[in-house]
A and B are shown apart, each in its own frame.
Chain A
Amino acid sequence: MAKTYDYLFKLLLIGDSGVGKTCVLFRFSEDAFNTTFISTIGIDFKIRTIDLDGKKIKLQIWDTAGQERFRTITTAYYRGAMGIMLVYDITNEKSFENIKNWIRNIEENASSDVEKMLLGNKCELEEKRQVSKERGEQLAVEYGIKFIETSAKASIRVEEAFFTLARDIKAKMEKKLVSHVYNDCF
C-alpha cells in the first residue's frame, strides 16, 4: 500500500498538571463521550490527519499521562519530537511561571531544533484571568516562539494552534531540504 501522507510530525503537549493539555487533544464537545473505561486507562497518543497547503500531514500527538506532576519527563519522552506545545492556564499564575522551567527541561532533553509554541489555555475564563495576554506575548517574544490564547472548552483557536505549529515545522523541513539540495549541487 502506497504511503498515504506527505509528512509525519510528532508533537508533544507539555505544561503543568491541570492546564488543559488532555482537553486540548480532543475537540471538546458538549456531548463528549464519557467512557469510564477509556478515561481510567488514559490516552497515550493520537493520530490526526490535516491538509496543509495541499500536503497531507499526519500528526502524532502525545499527552504526558500525568508524568508532569512528578516532573519526570525525560529524554525518552522527547525522543523524535519535532514540535512542542507549551501550555499554561491563564487563570493560574504558577502554571505561567513554570513555563520557564519547562523550557529549561526541553532544552536539556529535546533536540535543539524542536519547534515550540506557547498556548495560554482557558481563555474563555476572562473573569478569573491571572495572566494578561501581554505577558504571554512577551514571554513568547523572549523565547522567539509563537503564542496563541486558546480555550479547549469553548473550542477557541485550538485547531489554529495545531495548524500553526504544523505549518512552522513543515516550513523548517522544506527549508532544510532546499539547503541540502543546494549544497549537493554547488
Chain B
Amino acid sequence: MPDCSENYENEISEGHNVRSIKCKFCNSIILKPSVASFTTVQFQLPLMKQTGGTNHPETEELSLFWMVTDMLMFENVGFSNTVGNNKYLTCADCEAGPIGYYDLSSKKSYVALSRVKHC
C-alpha cells in the first residue's frame, strides 16, 4: 500500500473509509477501516494553529467529513468541553485538534478528512 495519501477518492469504498484514520502528528489510531461514513457537510472548523485570542477563533470552512454515528466506534479520540451545540474532537494521544466536531443534538461525530491521515 502506498504511503498516507491526500487522494481522497481512493480512501472511500462503498461510502466507508478504506484505510485506518490516524493522527497526522503522532500516528495514534482514531478509526479502524470501514467504520466511518463519508459525508459532505459545511462546517466552520477552528484552525489548529490560532494566531490571535480564542474568543474569536479563526476558522476555515470544511466540507469533507468522516461521519461516525456512535462515539464508541472510535478507537482513540478526545472530546472537548461543550461549545454551543458542539464538542471538538482531538487526538487522544497528542491532543492535536480540532480534527472534527461532535453534534450534541444528533450525537454524530464528524472527522475532517483534511485534518487526519489515511494509512
Q: Give chain A's interface residues, CB within 8 Å of chain B.
A: 1, 4-5, 8, 26-27, 29, 31-33, 35-49, 58, 60, 65
- Report if B20 contacts A (CB, 8 A): no
Across the interface, name the chain A residue whose C-beta is closest to B75: A49
Q: Which residues of B have CB within 8 Å of A60?
A: 72
A-B contact count (CB 8 A): 105
Q: Which residues of B have CB within 8 Å of A58?
A: 72
Q: What DSSP secondary structure best describes chain A's contact surface?
A: mixed
Q: Which residues of A have CB within 8 Å of B88?
A: 37-38, 41
How long is the Cα–Cα vector from A8 to B94 in the complex, in angstroms?
23
- Report if B79 contacts A (CB, 8 A): yes
Q: Give chain B's interface residues, CB within 8 Å of chain A.
A: 25-26, 28, 32, 35, 46-50, 54, 57, 69-83, 87-88, 90-98
How long is the Cα–Cα vector from A60 to B47 in the complex, in angstroms?
26
Q: Is the CB of B35 within 8 A of A4?
A: yes
From B35, B71, B81, A47 is in contact (CB under 8 Å) with B71
Q: Is the CB of B50 within 8 A of A35?
A: yes
Q: Which residues of B have CB within 8 Å of A47?
A: 71-72, 74-79, 92
Q: Is the CB of B35 within 8 A of A43?
A: no
How long is the Cα–Cα vector from A91 to B16 in the complex, in angstroms?
49
Q: What DSSP secondary structure best describes chain B's contact surface?
A: loop
From B49, B81, B98, A44 is in contact (CB under 8 Å) with B81
From B32, B76, B77, B80, A38 is in contact (CB under 8 Å) with B80
Q: Is the CB of B78 within 8 A of A40?
A: no
Q: Which residues of A have CB within 8 Å of B50?
A: 35-37
How long is the Cα–Cα vector from A31 to B87 in the complex, in angstroms?
24
How long is the Cα–Cα vector from A43 to B82 in the complex, in angstroms?
9
How long is the Cα–Cα vector from A33 to B48 in the complex, in angstroms?
10
From B26, B69, B92, A29 is in contact (CB under 8 Å) with B26
Q: Is the CB of A31 within 8 A of B25?
A: yes
Q: Is the CB of B80 within 8 A of A42?
A: yes
Q: Is the CB of B93 within 8 A of A43?
A: no
Q: Is the CB of A46 within 8 A of B25?
A: no
Q: Can you name 11 A-B pairs with beta carbons within 8 Å? A: A1-B69, A31-B26, A33-B26, A35-B49, A37-B50, A37-B54, A42-B81, A43-B79, A43-B95, A44-B87, A48-B76
Nearest CB of chain A from residue B39's CB, rounded to whole Å: 15
Nearest CB of chain A from residue B100's CB, rounded to whole Å: 12
From A27, A33, A44, A48, B80 is in contact (CB under 8 Å) with A44
| Known contacts A5-B72, A38-B97; A26 and B79 CB within 8 A of each other | no
Q: Is the CB of A4 within 8 A of B72?
A: yes
